Amino acid sequence: MSFHPASAPDYLPLPQMRQLQLARLRAVAARAYQNVELYRTRMDERGLGPECLRDPSDLGRFPFTTKADLRDTHPFGLFASPMSEVVRLHASSGTTGKPIVVAYTREDLEVWTSVMVRAFAACGLTRGDVVQNAYGYGLFTGGLGAHYGAEALGATVIPISGGNTDRQIMVLRDFRVTAICCTPSYFIHLIERAAELGVSIRDLPLRVGIFGAEPWTDSMRRRIQAEGGVQAFDIYGLSEIVGPGVAIECPCQDGLHVFEDHFYPEIVDLENGAPLPDGEEGELVLTTLSKQAMPMIRYRTRDITRILASPCGCGRTLRRMARIARRSDDMFIIRGVNVFPSQIEAALLEVEGTLPHYQIILTRQKGLDAMEVQVEVTPEFFSDKVGALEGLHARLVEALDHTLGLRVSVRLVESHTIQRSDGKAKRVIDRREP
């Protein structure tokens, strides 16, 4: 195993790491206070300032920043650098209301590239690898973030961007691609489509998949690894913080190492926002430690995870976070019960062994919430006998009932009728009138 020089901070002894974090925290708090009105006002209201940070844990006294703050200050209200120093803007897809704009100085881009180099290196990529970058290029941070990281690593980058599945498969095969970056659901789509075209992804030189931009489960990983013949790594990031490259799995595949020399992680209680100790599950809150153009102080990610502080087999000293299986955003409430799509997945898995394509439809009938889980019939479970399918249906209803404590209806639907997205899979369709 060789180590990439850029990965040196991954192995920093803990006392040094905490010292570095504290120094950077103070600097970023000072920068935010001096240059951003929203941060200054909020710190003043609480009598807080950079000097209050005597230990990284003091950060817990500072106010949160939320997605709503980004919208309220749209477009440039949280910038801490003049436009003359901003060299790049990205924006989130903005599915709800205005898109969110994020800014980078030249140094910010260098940091971003460096964490992406470390991320790819952790996945075992090196000079000589051929990387098919199927993240969307453009305003979305995924495409360019992965692009510059892979290039800086010295790998060969194919900037194919998202979409055009048949061409993706042709390029995977013909260009002897060894690594692919895309969303996990899109990769599953690729495997399925390739099979239809008579191409076995598993038999190609492809050996590494770096998957992110949406929550996925261990069962999806097992399927991807078995059917795709790749080692599947989870990469985590969000535009508000930097883009992809906030955290990455190592070959131990036991949580994602947070590049905590640049992004300081906290876990807080979902309800009251109180900081939680390592090991406890809650919402991930991130503070950028080196960002210049747009520092983020205690940004609430809506992603639910926990910090794994135990040493990792790979030798990295960076703390890990458990893979994100759910977001507080995804949670929906039905008849007063909190439900996460991950619970539905667990129930479907229990019955079928692998995760079928599914979708959750929420409706309101005569004032009552109703939930229907549509499940595609797979070749493994399809039978010419009515009884066998009714049995499957009954087992699905039973498993969901057992997992959720709720009676939900299950509808078996034809294969390929649930929309496959080129990007993020849409699991929940909420048709309830507000």
Partner 1 sequence: MKIHQLSLFLENSPGKAVEPCRLLARAGINIRTLTLADTQQFGILRLIVSDWEKGRELLAEAGYVVNVTEVVAVEVEDRPGGLAGLLETLEPSGVNIEYMYAFTFGREDRAILIFRFDRPDAAIEHLRAAGVNVLPDVEL
CB of 416 to partner 1, least distance (A): 4
Indicate the residue among 127 and 385 with the shorter CB distance to partner 1. Answer: 385
C-alpha 330: how far from chain center? 13
CB of 377 to partner 1, least distance (A): 5
Check if the beta carbon of residue 308 is closer than 8 Å to that of residue 278: yes
CA distance linking residue 141 with residue 418, whole number of Å: 27
The one-character DSSP state at 353 is S
The candidate with the shortest Cα–Cα distance to 158, out of 370, 174, 85, 166, is 174
Indicate the residue among 19 and 421 with the shorter CB distance to partner 1. Answer: 421
Q: Determine if 412 is a binding residue for partner 1 (CB under 8 A).
A: yes
Residue from 89, 378, 401, 418 that binds partner 1 (CB under 8 A)?
378
CB of 375 to partner 1, least distance (A): 11
CB of 379 to partner 1, least distance (A): 5
Indicate the residue among 176 and 416 with the shorter CB distance to partner 1. Answer: 416
Which range in 65-73, 183-191, 324-332, 380-388 contacts partner 1 by CB under 8 A?
380-388
Check if the beta carbon of residue 380 is closer than 8 Å to that of residue 348: no
Residues contacting residue 5 through CB under 8 Å, at least 6 positions apart: none
CB of 200 to partner 1, least distance (A): 16
CB of 412 to partner 1, least distance (A): 5
Which range in 34-42, 231-239, 252-260, 371-379 contacts partner 1 by CB under 8 A?
371-379
Residue from 171, 230, 377, 400 that binds partner 1 (CB under 8 A)?
377
Residue from 367, 379, 405, 434 that binds partner 1 (CB under 8 A)?
379
The one-character DSSP state at 311 is P
Backbone torsions φ then ψ of 263, nearest 5 degrees: -130, 115
Residue 417's SS3 state is: coil
Residues contacting residue 343 through CB under 8 Å, at least 6 positions apart: 403, 404
Q: Which residues between 183 and 222 bind partner 1 (CB under 8 A)? A: 196
* 299, amino acid identity: Y
Its sign, for the CA torsion 419, 424, 427, 432, is negative
The candidate with the shortest Cα–Cα distance to 209, out of 195, 194, 193, 223, is 223
Residues contacting residue 42 through CB under 8 Å, at least 6 positions apart: 63
Q: How far is CA 62 from CA 29, 46, 132, 156, 394, in A?
A: 10, 8, 41, 43, 51
Which range in 30-38, 171-179, 303-311, 374-382 contacts partner 1 by CB under 8 A?
374-382
Which range in 78-86, 126-134, 293-301, 386-394 contacts partner 1 by CB under 8 A?
386-394
Q: Which residues between 389 and 408 bind partner 1 (CB under 8 A)? A: 389-390, 393
Which range in 160-168, 325-333, 340-348, 376-384 contacts partner 1 by CB under 8 A?
376-384
- What pairing do the DSSP bridges indicate for beta strands 307-308 and 275-276? unpaired
CA distance linking residue 243 with residue 40, whole number of Å: 25
Check if the beta carbon of residue 410 is closer than 8 Å to that of residue 372: yes
Q: Determine if 383 is a binding residue for partner 1 (CB under 8 A).
A: yes
Q: Determine if 421 is a binding residue for partner 1 (CB under 8 A).
A: no
CB of 393 to partner 1, least distance (A): 7
CB of 196 to partner 1, least distance (A): 7
Between helices 37-45 and 14-35, what is the axis angle to 10°?
A: 100
Residue from 19, 280, 382, 432 that binds partner 1 (CB under 8 A)?
382
Which range in 67-75, 227-235, 305-313, 410-418 contacts partner 1 by CB under 8 A?
410-418
The candidate with the shortest Cα–Cα distance to 150, out of 175, 180, 195, 183, is 180
Total residues binding partner 1 (CB under 8 A): 19
Residue from 54, 386, 431, 434 that binds partner 1 (CB under 8 A)?
386
Task: Give the binding site for partner 1 (CB under 8 A).
Answer: 196, 377-379, 382-386, 389-390, 393, 411-417
